[in-house]
């Protein structure tokens, strides 16, 4: 499903050339992708690679979010947390990133 969790930048795709701003996610968030490559996008925040989103090969209406080289899972089922669109999966990555950044700030200031 996810190319054995090989990050897109290690798949020999070259550098991404298509940029899509994620205004609904927040300032600084973008999806980067490659011409001719369908179903995988890098998620970037303020120019820094945060994770990627990828469409399931078996179902084009299901996307997963990968953060810190791990698929974000559904707490109830333990399986992947499926999304209907790549942008929705990117929003999940942004939420996890923000939560971890907030947790880190809270632990370093106390």
Q: How far apart are CA 57 and CA 64, in angstroms?
A: 11
Mean pLDDT of 10-34: 95
The backbone torsions φ and ψ at residue 104, rounded to the nearest 5 degrees and listed phi first, read -65, -45
Nearest CA to 67 out of 47, 87, 39, 97 is that of 97
Going through 12-73 in order, the beta strands assigned E by DSSP cover 18-21, 29-33, 40-45, 48-55, 63-67, 70-71
Give me the number of domains the chain comprises. 1
Q: What does pLDDT average to over the chain?
A: 90
pLDDT of 104 over the 70 cut: no
- What global pTM score does this model have? 0.87
Helix (H) or strand (E) segment spanning residue 95: helix 86-109
Point out which residues pair with 22 in neighbouring strands: none
pLDDT band, very low/low/confident/very high, at 109 (cuts 50, 70, 90): very low
CB 58 within 8 A of CB 67: no
- Domain hosting 13: range is 3-109
């Amino acid at each position: 499903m996810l190319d054995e969790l090989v990050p897109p930048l290690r798949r020999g795709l070259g550098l991404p050339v298509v940029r899509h701003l994620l205004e609904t996610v927040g300032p600084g968030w973008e999806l980067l992708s490659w011409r001719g490559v369908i179903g995988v996008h890098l998620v970037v925040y303020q120019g820094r690679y945060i994770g990627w989103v990828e469409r399931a090969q078996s179902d084009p209406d299901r996307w997963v979010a990968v953060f810190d080289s791990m698929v974000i899972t559904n707490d109830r089922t333990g399986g992947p947390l499926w999304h209907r669109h790549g942008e929705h999966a990117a929003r999940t990555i942004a939420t996890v990133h923000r939560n971890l950044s907030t947790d880190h700030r809270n632990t370093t200031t106390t």
